[in-house]
Amino acid sequence: MADLKIGFIGLGLMGHGMASNILKKGYPLTVLGHRNRQPIDDLVSQGASEVDTAAELARGVDIVFLCLPGSNEVAQTLAGETGLLAGLHKGLVVIDCSTGDPNRTEELARQITERGGRYMDTPVNRTPKDAAAGRLNVLAGGDADLLELVRPVLECFSETIHHLGPVSSGHKAKVIHNFIALGNASILAEAFCTAAKTGVDLRAFADICGLSGGYSRTFERIIPFVLNGDDSQQQFALGNCEKDMRYYTQLTKLAPSTGIVAESVYQTFLLAKSLGHGEKFVPHLFDVLGEINGVRVRASEEGAP
C-alpha cells in the first residue's frame, strides 16, 4: 500500500488536513492547483506535487480523493476535456469524501465504473481541527473489499471507519446525521433567542443546558459564540448547511419518509443564506435569529465581535 500514488482534489478546511496526514504517512501525493494558494503551497512545501488539471492528476495516481462542497462540484470535476474522467485509467479508485447528494451518487459512480474505475462515497464527520489531527470519522458506502483495500489510506486521517452499505450509503448516512446536528443548532438558536428576548440570563441558562437534556456535541461547539463570541468550534458555513439540508429533504421525499421537522430546519438555513450570512460559520445562526427577532443573543458584551 505504501507504494500507492495518491491524488487529492479539494483542499479546503477539511481537505487540507486530510491531505497533509496522507503526506505525513509517507504516501506520494499529487494535488490539483487552485486559486487559494495557501493550502497548495503548504502541501508542496511538505513534498507534494502539483498539477493543473484533474485529467493530469488522474493519469498519474492510483487513488483520487475528492473533498468538494457537493455533488455539483464533483460532477464539474469529472467532466470536460481536462476533467477527471478524461484522464481516468483502468483500476483508478475514486474516493468521494464530499458531502454529496445521495440521490446523485449512483449516477456519478456509474460514470467512473463505466470507464474502468472504482468508486466509494466516504464523507467524514467532525471538524477541520480533527482533520488536521487525523481524528475524523469516515462514513463509507461501497464494496466491502474495496474498503479494505483503501483502509490504510483512510486511516491516515481517521479515528474510526464505518461501512454503511453499498454505494450512496455513506452519503445517505452523512446527510441524515447532519440533519440531527443542524436541527439541534436550529433549536438552540431559536431557544436562546427566546431566552434573550424574555430577559433570561443567557450564561446561567447555558449552564443549566450543559447539565441536562439540552446538552449535545453541537451545544458544546456553538454556545461559546453566545458566551464570548467564539465561532471557531464549528467552522462550517451556513450556506453549506442549507445545501446539506436541501439534500436531506430531497432524500425524505424520494424515500418517501416524513420530513416535517426537516423542512423547518431547511428553511431556517435558507433564510440565513438569503439574508447574506451564507459565508459565516454555524454559530452565527444566533445572530440570524436575533436579527429576525430584534434582539442580541449574547451573554455579555465581553469578547463579542
The reply to whether 25 belongs to the active site is no
Give the Cα-Cα-Cα angle 17, 134, 234 (nearest 5 degrees). Answer: 65
153 contacts 6 by C-beta, under 8 angstroms: yes
Question: Which one from 24, 25, 174, 197 is the annotated catalytic residue?
Answer: 174
84 contacts 34 by C-beta, under 8 angstroms: no
Sign of CA dihedral 9, 34, 78, 182: positive
Alpha-carbon gap, residue 269 to 102, rounded angstroms: 20
Alpha-carbon gap, residue 84 to 92, rounded angstroms: 11
Q: Facing residues of 30 across strands? A: 7, 49
Please list, in sequence order, all residues whose beta carbon lies within 8 angstroms of the beta carbon of residue 223, skipping any fewer than 6 positions away: 188, 206, 209, 210
Q: Which residues are catalytic?
A: 174
